[in-house]
Amino acid sequence: MEVIKTDDGSFTFFSEKFKEPYHSLTAGAFKEAVEKFCKPCKISEKAKRGSVNLFDVCFGLGYNTTAFLETAFSTNAKVKVFIVGFEIDISVIEKSLKVSWSKYERWKNIIRTALKNKKFDNGFLTLNYFSPQIKLKIYIGEGREVIKRIYRKYERFADAIFHDPFSPRVNPELWTLDFFKKLRKIIKEDGVFATYSAASPIRKALWMSGFGVKEGVAIGRKSKSTIASPSFKTEKKLLEKFSTSINSTPYRDPNLKDPPSLIKSRREGCIWLQKKLHPVASIY
């Protein structure tokens, strides 16, 4: 696994499977974690209340969770946190501990301990860390399979969802309307979902799933990221785009088990039909 130094001095890996780095090279791995996830989800403000729960979609190297811990405990040393996430490749977590985490080094011990404390939960291997203030559970498995089995257990659990898979172009399975519907059940009514993608199909899928959707920040790229919450009112300009642009058609995966090629071709077919039959009331 190739190690790459990002622009803020932190390190990330390059995925041979997806042909993409795990983090933005121009934004910087840890800077991206703070600016695109922790700040938009208002982790500092929520930590002041005394407790905050995170659902981490694609744990990866653990940087998003680490930035979450640093942000929460820097704000309130007495805060209690509960982190639930999933990752398909445990070796990425293991190898992450071998690169420098700079000012975040102190959090590596939590990950080391979790790797030693393996259990099984709902048919999945899990990594676990428990202390009076920190609870961490990482499911090792394919994201859709994990979500299908655990979403009821964590209904209305999350104050924040960090959604950080590889891009929809290569990993559409985790960007579908159907996947977001499960995340909608996991998040609290005032919880905030954050992702780096600015793509219209992603934003429309979130809106159709019951989230209010807004533009986020632009860090390391021209386009702005996306934030969403059941409590948000979707921005007017986004609603106009959803209703006028066929290209905002979401990805679909009704049973959360289809291969990426089918998910992409299904969307392409829907767009083709809309172009041929427009106007139509709805194909969903």
Concatenated DSSP letters for 215-255? E---SSSSS--EEEETTPPPPHHHHHHHHH-GGGPPP--TT
Is residue 11 a part of any domain in this protein? yes
Could you give the number of structural domains in the chain? Answer: 1
20 beta partners:
15
Q: What is the CATH number of the domain that holds 75?
A: 3.40.50.150
User: How big is the CA angle at 68 (ends 67 and 73), to the nearest 5 degrees?
Assistant: 100
Q: For residue 176, how many C-alpha atoms fall within 13 Å in the half-sphere facing its CB?
A: 26
Q: Does the structure show a pLDDT above 50 at 281?
A: no
Sheet arrangement for strand 212-215: 118-121, 124-130, 134-140, 80-87, 51-57, 158-163, 187-195, 226-229, 212-215
Secondary structure, 3-state, 4-38: EECCCCCEEEEECCCCEECCCCCCCHHHHHHHHHH
For the record, the structure tokens of 119 come out as: 């259990």
Pairing of strands 11-15, 80-87: unpaired
pLDDT in tens, 157-168: 999 999 999 999
Place of tokens 């767009």: 271
For the record, the structure tokens of 17 come out as: 């499977």
Is residue 261 a part of any domain in this protein? no
- Tell me what pLDDT residue 182 has: 98
Of 26-30, 83-87, 130-134, 241-245, least confident by mean pLDDT is 26-30
DSSP SS3 for 141? coil
Is residue 224 a part of any domain in this protein? yes
158 beta partners:
187
pTM value is 0.94
Task: Return d(Cα 226, Cα 248) in angstroms, integer.
Answer: 14
Is residue 112 a part of any domain in this protein? yes
DSSP SS3 for 151? coil
- Radius of gyration of the CA atoms of the chain, in A: 18
Q: Which domain holds residue 87?
A: 2-250
pLDDT in tens, 175-204: 999 999 999 999 999 999 999 999 999 999
- Tell me what pLDDT residue 283 has: 45
Is residue 46 a part of any domain in this protein? yes
Amino acid, single-letter form, for residue 204: K
252 beta partners:
none
Is residue 270 a part of any domain in this protein? no
Task: Return d(Cα 97, Cα 72) in angstroms, integer.
Answer: 21
Is residue 277 a part of any domain in this protein? no
pLDDT in tens, 57-85: 999 999 999 999 999 999 999 999 999 99
Is residue 158 a part of any domain in this protein? yes
DSSP SS3 for 213? strand
With beta carbons less than 8 A apart as the criterion, state whether 37 and 46 touch.
Answer: no
